[in-house]
Structure 1
């Protein structure tokens, strides 16, 4: 079982979960848990509980990986005042009402790439290790 460890070097008798191959003869208990004779590479990863039929994360198998995702969604602007302006090169309406205040449209905006290079919760970095047995 992977255990968080607060140091770069694991204690004696433990191995880092860094994707390294291991000998089934040397570590028969590890080979039972990881039949590919390769440790999981948990560097920079979050561990997610297995769905096991619950329905929150269908189709996953144990030890499978999953790419990052950000649920697709839209933002609606109910009202915006100013000059009527549409810029096809920008791909969206800049303002939604004309000078008289008449609403020209109510655009919907989709997610865009702003901010960081990934979506993630706040976190603390630990080294995941497993007992070498």
Structure 2
């Protein structure tokens, strides 16, 4: 007969209080974290967008609803009343701009955000948690200077210059070759994200 370990019990309680249901955190494992099978113990799973049963995970469903999707995709078991957890594979996380209903103005393209999966929140929803933005580069322009030679009546040549705001009589378009990678990104390291579901 095993002896109860009060220290382990206290540690588990602290971890549950410190990480409320629905918490998402980085995790260095490659699979769902193991649980000890103890009743009431926290359960975490990878944020891979899978569909979960609304009844089995009712407390989580009451918190996030269909913010990330209505369960019609990533549902190989064809769960009838389902909802999706976040799909954070290959994605960065961004803080919401309007926490507590007050916009900070740090997401200028807020209204164009799209649903992560079918039925999920968009930039048009009051609750935008779970919405996505595609890759983007801020609008910008480049100035350039070009030179050409023009003959005058005396047969000589005179140099002229124009900048990017000039409109030449015979404009030409030039295309440079592509350089760089397939996306714009900061330096990064791979880790999994997990979500507390129970």
Same fold (TM over 0.5): yes
Which residue number corresponds to residue 88 of structure 1?
A: none
Which is higher, the Rg of structure 1 or of structure 2?
Answer: 2
Query: Which is bigger in relative contact order (C-alpha 8 A, separation at least 6)?
Result: 1
After TM superposition, give the deviation of residue 125 of structure 1 in Å: 1.3
After TM superposition, give the deviation of residue 28 of structure 1 in Å: 1.9
CA gap 1:112/1:20 in 2 versus in 1, 3 angstroms: farther
Q: Distance in 2 between matches of 1:110 and 1:34?
A: 47
Q: Distance in 1 between matches of 2:45 and 2:164?
A: 54
Instruction: State which of 60, 72, 93 in structure 1 corresponds to 2:139.
Output: 72
Which residue number corresponds to residue 25 of structure 2?
A: 3
Which residue number corresponds to residue 105 of structure 1?
A: 162
CA gap 1:66/1:101 in 2 versus in 1, 3 angstroms: farther
Confirm or deny that 1:29 pairs with 2:94.
Answer: no
What value does the CA root-mean-square deviation take over the aligned residues?
Answer: 2.7
Instruction: State which of 54, 57, 78 in structure 1 corresponds to 2:104.
Output: 54
Confirm or deny that 1:63 pairs with 2:130.
Answer: yes
Task: Count matched residues.
Answer: 116
Q: Distance in 2 between matches of 1:121 and 1:71?
A: 15
Which residue number corresponds to residue 85 of structure 1?
A: none
What is the TM-score when the length of structure 1 is the normalising length?
0.73
What is the TM-score when the length of structure 2 is the normalising length?
0.51
27-36 vs 49-58, greater mean Cα deviation? 27-36
Q: Runs ≥4 in structure 1, deviation > 6 angstroms?
A: 108-112
Structure 2 gap ranges (5+) = 1-22, 35-42, 67-82, 112-122, 150-156, 166-173
Confirm or deny that 1:16 pairs with 2:38.
Answer: no
